[in-house]
Structure 1
Amino acid sequence: MRVDKLRELSVEELNDQLADLKTELFNLRFQLAVGQLENPMRIREVRRSIAQVKTILREREIRREA
C-alpha cells in the first residue's frame, strides 16, 4: 500500500494493517525455510511496509504528545 493511502487510515486501521503485515511476514519466512517461497522480494516489500506503518504511528504519537 502506498504511503499516502496509509496516512489516510485511522490508528486502529493502521494497527490492523500492521498485524496483517506481521502475519504475512511470518508466513513468508516459514515458506522460505521450507523452500516453497516463490517470490523472495516479497519479504523485502512486507518489511518495508511494516516500517512505513510504524513510522506513521510514531509520527501521530509524537504529534499527540506535543
Structure 2
Amino acid sequence: MKQSEIKELSVAELQDKLSETKKSYSDLKMAHAISPLDNPIQLRSVRRDVARLATELTKRELQ
C-alpha cells in the first residue's frame, strides 16, 4: 500500500486497515515458522505497511 493511498483513508478506515494488516502479518509469520514461505519478502512488505498505517494514525492524532 502506497503512502498516497493511505493519506486518502479516513481515521476509521485506517484503524480497520491497520487491524487487518496486523492480522495478516501474524498469519504470515506463523505460516513461515511452520514451513518456509514461497516469497519471504512478503513479511517485510506487510510489516512496512503496518508501520505506514500506524505512523499516519499517530500523525493525525497529534494534529
Match of 1:35 in 2: 35
**Percent identity of paired positions between Structure 1 and Structure 2:** 38
Match of 1:21 in 2: 21
Counting matched residue pairs gives 63
The reply to whether residue 55 of structure 1 matches residue 30 of structure 2 is: no
Runs of 4+ in 1 over 6 A off after TM superposition: none
Q: Using CA pairs below 8 Å that are at least 6 residues apart, which structure has the higher relative contact order?
A: 2
Distance in 2, matches of 1:12 and 1:29, equals 26
Distance in 2, matches of 1:2 and 1:52, equals 9
Using structure 1 for the length normalisation, give the TM-score: 0.90
Using structure 2 for the length normalisation, give the TM-score: 0.94
Can you give the 5+ residue segments of structure 1 that lack an aligned partner in the other structure? none
Report Cα offsets for 1:6-61 as digits up to 9, x if no partner.
Answer: 00100000011101111111110111111141110000001100000011001101
Distance in 1, matches of 2:39 and 2:12, equals 30
Output the aligned Cα RMSD. Answer: 0.8
Distance in 2, matches of 1:39 and 1:27, equals 14
